[in-house]
Amino acid sequence: MLKAMNTNSAFLAIFLLSALSARAAPTTEYCDNGTGECKELTATDCPVLFYIEFIIEANNIKYCDKAKDIVCCPLPLNAQKRVMTPADPRKLYEKECRRYNDVRPTCRSTPLILGGTEVKGREYPFMALLGIQQPGSSTISWDCGGTLIHPKFVLTAAHCLETTETKEQRLDPNYKSPKFVVRLGELDYNSTTDDAQPQDFRLVNYVVHPAYDENEDDGSRLNDIALLELDRNATLNEYVAPACLPSGSGDEHLDLTAAGWGYTKNAGDKSSKLLQVGLKRYGDQVCSERLESRIVSRTQFCAGSGSANSQADTCNGDSGGPIFVQHPVYNCLKQVIGITSYGAICGNYKFPSVYTKVHLYTDWIENIVWGE
């Protein structure tokens, strides 16, 4: 017995030594918890960062050795060592997330189950509708989705906020122009007997990401992310409660859920009912091929049904809404991994839709939402 143990620990020691020496070799130095590799910031060593360095904020680039310009170059999704990032307790949004979990007593013990397409009342209390109301009209055109991430702030896509007048004019209640309306706690906006408790809001401000860019020629978008500031805090309850920002990249999740009130088929009708779809996240290479390079894998990912037999997708009208996963720690909460941005054709598995990676922007969000 003793002999066997000795042999084992000798083996273990050798294994550890070789593991350590392998780590020390500069060619295999992983960083950012296995999602990247330390590389020189050059066009050949790390093209993915080299060419888009100017787009993302400098503090979003992770360095292995800043003085030598060695960056943490993101690995393709399928090559990444999947490590779940634990929450950073110093982050304000992580603290808030813990508090949000206590808003809804009913879900604390029963995990919410995905499945089917119609969302049940109170299932996704973070879902927001963004609509436009013409002056003098009582009807609202619900054109985009969003995610409540704080009682007063909704995360959405930048392209949902395109206006013909200035932002000041758009926000000024006395200026005659279409006005944005946000609705929370809705399920079927054409029904008053559904299991919903809607709350409507005006906007007092909205912030489009400063590097948002749309390519008119191919319809692709970059940094398609924005924040809406509501005119008051939402009343949090079983029907209205925020979702959490991701603690890490969320790259370990290949099964994601998207929800929205968008078109149910290409060139079809909008759905007045909140719908959900389960989607597969595709690897960067597949996204790039299927979308003919109209995607920047550093800041965007793509997802689709993963099968020719399924038409699951997000579509026009779902824009700005979340693609999310169950929170790893809090039963009541979801984590927003991406924001629905654009796609070529709805419901065709060959053409996945593109999502903005939320985790790259959490510092930007935190400054606006929880900053002074």
CA distance 337 to 152: 20
Please choose, from the candidates 118, 177, 124, 114, the residue with its C-alpha nearest in 3D space to the C-alpha of residue 146. 124
229 is an interface residue for ligand NAG by CB under 6 A: no
- Rule CB under 6 A: say whether 80 interacts with ligand NAG: no
Rounded Cα gap, residues 121 and 81, in angstroms: 37
From 32, 143, 188, 224, the catalytic residue: 224
Give the containing element (helix H, strand E) for 128. Answer: strand 127-133
- 32 counts as binding ligand NAG under rule CB under 6 A: yes
To ligand NAG, the closest distance from the beta carbon of 233 in angstroms equals 4
Decide if residue 233 touches ligand NAG (CB under 6 A): yes
Cβ 130 to ligand NAG shortest distance, Å: 15
The rounded distance, in Å, linking the Cα atoms of 350 and 353 is 10
Q: Name the H helices within 274-361.
A: 284-290
Residue 319 designated active-site: yes
**What are the CB-based long-range contacts (under 8 Å, 24+) for 253-256?**
253/281, 253/325, 253/337, 254/280, 254/281, 255/279, 255/280, 255/281, 255/325, 256/280, 256/281, 256/303, 256/323, 256/324, 256/325, 256/337, 256/338
Residue 39 binds ligand NAG, judged by CB under 6 A: no
Q: CB-wise, 35 or 257, nearer to ligand NAG?
A: 35
The yes-or-no answer on residue 159 being catalytic is yes
Q: How far apart are CA 149 and CA 86, in angstroms?
A: 19
* Least separation in angstroms between CB 95 and ligand NAG: 11
Q: Residue 141 Cβ, how far from ligand NAG at the closest point, in Å?
A: 10
Q: Which of 125, 145, 151, 322 binds ligand NAG (CB under 6 A)?
A: 151
- Which DSSP helix (H) or strand (E) runs through 11? helix 2-24
**Token representation of residue 290:** 């299927």
For the CB of residue 235, give the shortest distance to ligand NAG in the complex, in Å.
10
Looking at residues 294 to 333 of the shown chain, list those that interact with ligand NAG (rule: CB under 6 A). none
**At its nearest, how many Å lie between ligand NAG and the CB of residue 190?**
4
* Structural contact between residues 340 and 173, judged by C-beta atoms closer than 8 angstroms: no
Q: What tokens does 165 get?
A: 């007048």
Count of other CB atoms within 10 angstroms of residue 168: 8
125 binds ligand NAG (CB under 6 A): no
Judged by CB under 6 A, does residue 98 bind ligand NAG?
no
Q: Which residue from 140, 128, 143, 259 is spatially nearest to 184, judged by alpha carbons? A: 128
Of 204-212, 268-276, 328-336, 351-359, which part binds ligand NAG (CB under 6 A)? 268-276
The interface region with ligand NAG, picked from 20-28, 73-81, 213-221, 265-273 by CB under 6 A, is: 265-273
**Residue 16 backbone dihedrals phi, psi, to 5 degrees:** -60, -45
Q: How far apart are CA 211 and CA 145, in angstroms?
A: 21
Contact with ligand NAG (CB under 6 A): which of 33, 156, 276, 305?
Answer: 33
| Stretch of 153-161, 195-203, 266-274, 281-289 lying at the interface with ligand NAG (CB under 6 A) | 266-274
Closer residue to ligand NAG, CB minimum distance, 302 or 369: 369
- Starting at the edge strand found earlier in the chain, the sheet holding 63-65 runs 30-31, 36-40, 70-74, 63-65
Q: CB of 84: closest distance to ligand NAG in angstroms?
A: 9
Number of residues that bind ligand NAG (CB under 6 A): 11
182-201 positions binding ligand NAG, by CB under 6 A: 190
Q: Which of 104, 209, 221, 270 binds ligand NAG (CB under 6 A)?
A: 270
Catalytic residue (one of 32, 143, 150, 159): 159
* Sheet strands (E) in 29-126: 30-31, 36-40, 63-65, 70-74
The only residue of 152, 214, 283, 366 in contact with ligand NAG, by rule CB under 6 A:
152
Residues that bind ligand NAG (CB under 6 A): 32-33, 85-86, 151-152, 190, 233, 269-270, 272
Residues taking part in catalysis: 159, 224, 319
